[in-house]
Every structure is written in C-alpha cells, then in structure tokens.
Chain A
Amino acid sequence: MKNKTIKVDYLARVEGEGGLYVKVKNGVVTDAKFNIFEPPRFFEAFLQGRRFTEAPDITARICGICPVAYQMSSTHAMEQICGVKVDGQLRELRRLLYCGEWIESHVLHIYMLHLPDFLGYEDSIAMAKDHPDAVKKALKLKKIGNDIMIVLGGREIHPINVRVGGFYKVPAKKDLQALIDPLKWALDASVETVELVSTLSFPDLERDYEFVSLQHPDEYPLCEGNIVSSKGFDVEPIDYLKHVEEIHVEHSTSLQGKVIERDDYLTGPMARYHHNYNRLPKIARDTAKKAGLDKTCKNPFKSIIVRAVETVFACHEALRIIKNYEPPDEPYIEVTPKAGIGHGASEAPRGLLYHRYEIDDSGIIKKARIIPPTSQNQKAVEKDLKQFVEQNLDMPNDELTWKCEQTVRNYDPCISCSCHFLKLRIDRE
C-alpha cells in the first residue's frame, strides 16, 4: 500500500481534545498533523485587569493535571517583577509540592495512559484484569504524590495554598513526617517501575532532537535555572523569547512553538534528563543505568523509562526535603507590587512552562503571555509521526493507527494546556 490516510478524530488517553492526521502518497508522507481543536479559553486576555496575586489561582485552571506548574511559573514571574526572592525552607516546600505533582502526573501517564499501549490494552482497567498487582501499585504510588499535594496544597487538583511570596500556611513538622514511610515505599516502587518499563519492547524511532529545558547548576530543575538548548542557546528566562516563537496554524487552536533560527524542538522528560543527568541523585542514575538507559535518550517511545527515572528522583527529593524540614517563621514574604515585566519558567511534568507578565505599580496585570509545553512540542510530535509512518508503511492500518496514537502519547500531551485535546487521522491516498 503506497497511498494511505491514517486518521484518529478524537485521541484517547490524553488530556484535552485533539486528533491526528497523516497522509501518505507514493510511499511518502505528505502531511502529518497533530490537530488541536480544544476550544480556546483566552486566559491571556482575561488576565488583563486582574491583580498580580490572582495569577496563581487563575492560571492553575488552565490545566487540572499540572496546576502546580502554573502556580510556580506565575509566582516566580511576579516575584521577579517585585524584586522578591523566596529562599530557604519556603523554596524547599515549593519543590516538595512540585514533586507531588510530578509523582502523581508521571505515574498517571506511565501506568494508566501509556503502558496500556505497550501491552496492547485499551485502558488500564482492562489491563488491571491481567496485571492487578501492577495497577494496584500504580494507584498507591500515584496516591502518595496526591497526598503530598493534599498536605501541602490543601487538595490534589488546584491546590489553594500557593501565593505570591510563599504559602498561606506552612505545614507542621509532624504533618510532613507522616509522609516519610509512604515515600520510602514509593521510592522502592518507582525503582521497580523503571525495571518494569525497561523490559517493554520499543518501536524503532530515533530523531536528532533539539532538547530544550531548564538547567540548574546543582539540582535537578523544577522552578529555577537557565533555559538551555542542546543545539545552541543557554539563556535566562528573560531572553527565552529571543530564541523561540509561536506560530498560529489553521489546524490548531494551540500556537506551535519553534526555535527561531532552526525548527522544531522537544521539551519534557527527555530534554530535562539530557541536560541534567549529572544532577540526578545516585539512586536515579544507577537505576537508569541498570535499565540500560544512556545519558541521552533519543527514542521518544522510551520516554516512559525517563519518566519513571524522574519519578525515582521526585520520591527521593521529597524524602530529602521532608527529612530536613524546619517550619519557617513566616509562611510567606510580603510582596509589594512594582511596575515592570517578569518571567517565570518551571518544569511541568510534560515540559517547560513559560510565563511572562507585565504589571503596573498597583499590581494590575497589563499583559500576560503563557507558553505551555504541549504547544512547544506540537511540531516535534508531527515530525515523529511523519518519520514513524515512513518507516512503517507496511504495517496494517489498525496497528499503524494505534502506533501513531502512541507516538502522540509519548509526549504526555496536555491539550488542555496547549489550549487544549487531540484527534488522529491517517490518510493513505
């Protein structure tokens, strides 16, 4: 079959509404689209005129899967404008909250959204019939991530405890210590997860990606660091927009990111891992090594292993923070608004989330710009699809369609973020 069309109108097991369309003519892919038709919600527009202190709660509603990412990028941007630096235990607590989100989101994706593809199940509930222990372990692990969010943030979806300058209330020592035993179990369970997913069989696909992520001199990055590219730039968030741009294409209600001087790029676990391998705790590096993962991973299907390694990191980091925790005197630093422009970049589970705000001296937002991970990855997804279909033209249509869906799911796309759902069509003419 030299000509074919592959299409999936409404892609499942992703967050949001999107689809997929690939067209093959004479053995060549002439079109590969990752459509996003999530209705736009215009956050950047209605943030104008709101108080700078409202940004964390409002932008959290862009995405129910990674609200902490929105809260972190926005608070950091506002604090930068107002000349405030949150440090010490408050900074550690922010990292802890983020670890909770990483564990919850990564485990959800690994076991419930991605693993069923590798094992040939429609969903994790069907998978649970044959692999009850794995699914039960996943649910328990995921719940520990959520428990961190509940203790520190008040609830797992749209936590209410984050504010510009810190928190509304900091936890008592004993509240966090109650998480130590569960987290010790979680650390073991996440190491076993790496072992489990490394035994899967991975379709052959490698691309020479431009990896873009935060890089921090001495820690695996969550909220701070420079934004670095494996093919060029290394800049503070303030200069990020000198290197990337967003393009509005017709098949998407999300804007597509692109490196100005080159083309598509990849953010997310594979990029973070590439740029920060040396800052992973030893246990994560050792586990990766045992799983046969190099310091760089270029096969997007193997992102599931990288995600599992990052889960090991998140459990380890959460334990470290809790063990050293001493409640700070004040739950937050008072922040007085100042007119100016600020930038915040943090690592959502699925990739770099960039915020830019302009506020006036009474703290009213004049302009907001948000670049979520999935819109940045959209072009890379389309290139993966193109290459994957070209390499597998003889695959039966059903299987190819499913594999194409999996290719999109490799990115743990969050279409609610990018604007927001996914849909697949493959055209073989």
Chain B
Amino acid sequence: MAKTQKPTLAVWKFASCDGCQLSLLDCEDELLAVAGAIQIANFPEASRAVMKGPYDISLVEGSITTPHDAERIHKIRRQSKLLITIGACATAGGIQALRNFADVKEYIAAVYPSPQYIETLGKSTPIADHVFVDFELRGCPINKYQLLEIVNALLNNRKPNTPTYSVCMECKRRGNVCVMVAHGTPCLGPVTQAGCNALCPSFNRGCFGCFGPKEITNTSALGDWFKQTGMADDDIVRTFRGFNAFAEPFRRESEAHEK
C-alpha cells in the first residue's frame, strides 16, 4: 500500500435527522480543502461512489433503534480504525429516546395505521452502548468547526481541542447578561456542555441543552432552583427531557421530578 495514500473517511447514518452529517456539507469554505486532504470513501448523502472498507475514520450519526441497526453498527466498528459519533442522537439516543420513557407499542399505534409492518426496538440508545467509540462529538446539531477540529486533530495525531466546561463559561465570555438572573428564564446553561458559543442566551432565550450534560454536573441544584422560581414539576421534567433526555444526568433529574 502506498504511503502517500490519503486517509479514508466514511459517514454512516442511523436514526437521525441528517443534520449532523449535513454540517460537513455546510463547511462551504473548507469542503474542497477537506476533500483534498482525505478520501471521502463512503458518504451516501453526498456521493454514489462507494469504496470498500476498512476506513481510517468513520463518522457515525444517529441512534440505534432497530434490531438490524444493532447488528450493522458492529460491522461498521470492525471496518473502522477510528469511530467518532456525531450529535445527540449518536451520543445520547437523541430526541427519539423519548420513547425510552414510554410504551413503544402505543407510540407505533399513534403514528402508523398498520403497526405490524414496523420493526423497532423498545429503546433508542447511543452508539457507545453497542460498540467502543473513540470520540464523541456533542450537539443537536454538532458545531461544524468542532467537526473540522476533530478531523484535523486526528489527521495530525493530536488530541482534539473541544471544551468540556459549561455553556455558562461561553456565555460569560461573550459578555451576555445571564437570562436566569436578569429575566428568570429557565436555562440549562450551567449543566450543559459548551460548544454552541452560548447561542440561545445570546438570543435572549434559555439554553435547552443541545450539547448534553457537561462532565461533572449538579443537575439537582439546578432542578431545585427551577422549583424555587415556581416552575411546575411537569415543566422541569420537560426541560431536562429534550434532545439529550437519555443522557444519565438529565435522565436522573427528569425522573426525580416525575410524580
């Protein structure tokens, strides 16, 4: 094998909205340069050409929700030197993990008139529940600059530089007025991992947790705070039960407020 060969990249989809892989195509200024540095070997959303594995880097979007997908992810792992999950679906089960708190049979009947055609698992689970994952990139959707950073870091054998502190840090750095302190707007910023550059508070709204729980979180302190501001338990449950509902700290906190 020639040493000069470009590293290969594959993009895989499971249950998802396609938004995270679209981030790659949304790198308008960088796309051609990326395509120059790596060989896009398997990326159905962009190309009908398919190169056989193994692949140097696999980007995996989406969560596992069917028996077939639970097998497919193992095949992908075997073909991938590095496997990176992209987005809340892949790292936490996504918004579709709301089914994990309900009876999935009722769900199917609510959506499909002929439920017998639908094959699905009772839970939507993150990729790391099924195979070893080398790196997880958070967000719903991911931040495309973080994606470029990861690909760049991996190509250069260094550790990706993606922060694990909270959205609050970014918010302070942007010089925002705290929406909770100033307006009493419920905000998940204190418990959510940075990555969006405190987008929602910059638009006068509370963070709703796209990037999932930060490394060490005190969700119960925040839950108590919400309660003190007069928020009903139902609403606290809904606040923690968003795109990262099944990530452990958020799940625990939502369940604690469920009557």
- Give residues in A with beta carbon < 8 Å to B: 10-17, 38-46, 48, 50-51, 54, 57-58, 61-65, 67, 108, 112-113, 122-126, 128, 135-136, 139-140, 142-143, 146, 154-158, 160-161, 163, 168-169, 246, 248-250, 253, 255, 331, 402, 405, 414, 416, 420-421
Nearest B-chain residue to A141, judged by Cβ = B28
Q: Is the CB of A13 within 8 A of B44?
A: yes
| A255 x B112 contact (CB < 8 A) | yes
Min distance, Cβ A58 to any Cβ of chain B, angstroms: 6
Question: B199 near A: Cβ within 8 Å?
Answer: yes
B-side contacts of A10, CB under 8 Å: 44
Whether the pair B69, A46 counts as a contact (CB closer than 8 A) is no
B200 within 8 A of A: yes
How far, in Å, is B129 (CB) from chain A's closest CB?
Answer: 16
Complex CA–CA separation, A45 to B98 (angstroms): 9
Measured between alpha carbons, how far is A125 from B199 in the docked complex, in Å?
32
Contact at A146–B46, with CB atoms within 8 Å? no
Contacts A169-B203, A169-B204; is A253 near B19 (CB within 8 Å)?
no
A124/B45 in contact, CB under 8 A: no
- Also in contact, A128 and B32, with CB within 8 A (given A42-B108, A61-B95, A156-B26): yes
Asked if B110 is at the interface of the complex by the 8 Å CB criterion, the answer is yes
A16 & B48 in contact (Cβ 8 Å cutoff) = no
Asked if residues B45 and A42 are in contact (CB atoms below 8 Å), the reply is no
Question: Are B47 and A123 touching (Cβ within 8 A)?
Answer: yes
Question: Which B residues, 202 to 221, have Cβ-Cβ distances below 8 Å to chain A?
Answer: 202-205, 208, 210
Which residue of A has the minimal Cβ distance to B117?
A250
B107 close to chain A: CB less than 8 A: yes
Which of A12, A15, A39, A62 is B48 in contact with, Cβ under 8 Å?
Answer: A12
Q: Is A64 touching B141 in the complex (CB atoms < 8 A)?
A: yes
Is B94 touching A168 in the complex (CB atoms < 8 A)?
no
Against A, the Cβ 8 Å flags (1 = close, 0 = not) of B98-112 are 110010101110111
Among B44, B108, B111, B124: residue with most chain A CB under 10 A: B111
Other CB < 8 Å A-B pairs besides A51-B235, A64-B19, 10 of them?
A12-B46, A14-B45, A16-B13, A39-B14, A40-B118, A142-B28, A157-B22, A160-B199, A161-B205, A416-B18
**Is there a chain A Cβ closer than 8 Å to B16's Cβ?**
yes
**B23, B25, B202, B243 pick with most chain A CB within 10 angstroms:** B25
Can you list 23 A-B pairs with a CB-CB distance of less than 8 A? A12-B47, A12-B48, A14-B45, A40-B111, A41-B96, A41-B124, A45-B110, A46-B96, A51-B235, A54-B238, A58-B95, A61-B19, A61-B94, A62-B17, A64-B20, A123-B40, A142-B28, A156-B26, A157-B26, A160-B200, A163-B205, A246-B113, A402-B48
* Alpha-carbon distance A122/B196, docked complex (angstroms): 34
Question: What A residues does B45 contact at CB under 8 A?
Answer: 12-15
Query: Which B residues are CB-close (under 8 A) to A420?
Result: 17-18
For B99, the chain A residues whose CB sits under 8 A away are 42, 45-46
Any A CB within 8 A of the CB of B140: yes
- As a 0/1 sequence over residues 179 to 204 of chain B, the CB contacts with chain A under 8 angstroms (1 = contact) are 00000000000000000100110111
Given A146-B28, A156-B26, A248-B117, residue A42 in contact with residue B140 (CB < 8 A): no
Q: Provided the pairs A17-B13, A157-B19, A157-B22 are in contact, do residues A45 and B102 lie with their beta carbons within 8 angstroms?
A: yes
Cβ–Cβ contact B203 & A161, under 8 A: yes
Interface hub of B16, B43, B113 (most chain A Cβ within 10 A): B16
Residue of B nearest to A15 (CB): B18
Question: How far, in whole Å, are A62 and B196 apart by their CA atoms in the complex?
Answer: 20
For residue B120, CB closer than 8 A to chain A, the reply is yes
User: What CA separation (Å) do A230 and B187 show in the bound complex?
Assistant: 48
Residues of B within 8 A of A (CB): 13-23, 25-26, 28-29, 31-32, 35, 40, 43-50, 65-66, 69, 94-96, 98-99, 102, 104, 106-108, 110-114, 117-118, 120, 124, 140-141, 196, 199-200, 202-205, 208, 210, 235, 238, 242-243
**In whole Å, how far is B184's beta carbon from the nearest beta carbon of chain A?**
15
| Complex CA–CA separation, A169 to B202 (angstroms) | 9
Known: A39-B69, A57-B208. A135 touches B32 (CB 8 A): yes
Most buried by B among A41, A57, A67: A41
Residues of B within 8 A of A63 (CB): 17-19
Contact of B47 among A45, A62, A125, A158 (CB under 8 A): A125
* List of B residues within 8 angstroms of A43 by Cβ: 95, 111
Complex CA distance for A398 and B66, rounded to whole angstroms: 32
A143-B17 contact given A13-B46, A61-B243, A64-B141, CB 8 Å threshold: no
B47 pairs with A146, CB closer than 8 A:
no
Residues of B within 8 A of A124 (CB): 46
Q: Please state if A122 and B49 are interface contacts (CB–CB under 8 Å).
A: yes
What are the 3 closest A-B residue pairs judged by CB atoms, nearest first?
Answer: A64-B19, A123-B47, A122-B49
Chain A residue numbers with a CB within 8 Å of B25 are 108, 112
Nearest Cβ on chain B to A71's Cβ, whole angstroms:
13
- Judge whether B111 and A44 touch: CB under 8 Å: yes
The reply to whether B140 and A61 form a contact with Cβ atoms under 8 Å apart is yes
Q: Kindly list chain A residues whose C-beta atoms are within 8 Å of the C-beta of B32.
A: 125, 128, 135-136, 139
CA–CA, A41 and B99, complex, Å: 9
Which residue from chain A places its CB closest to the CB of B103 in the assembled complex? A45
Q: Which residues of A contact B17 (CB under 8 A)?
A: 61-64, 416, 420
CA distance A38 to B98 in the complex (A): 18
Give Cα A137–Cα B188 distance, bound, in whole angstroms: 40
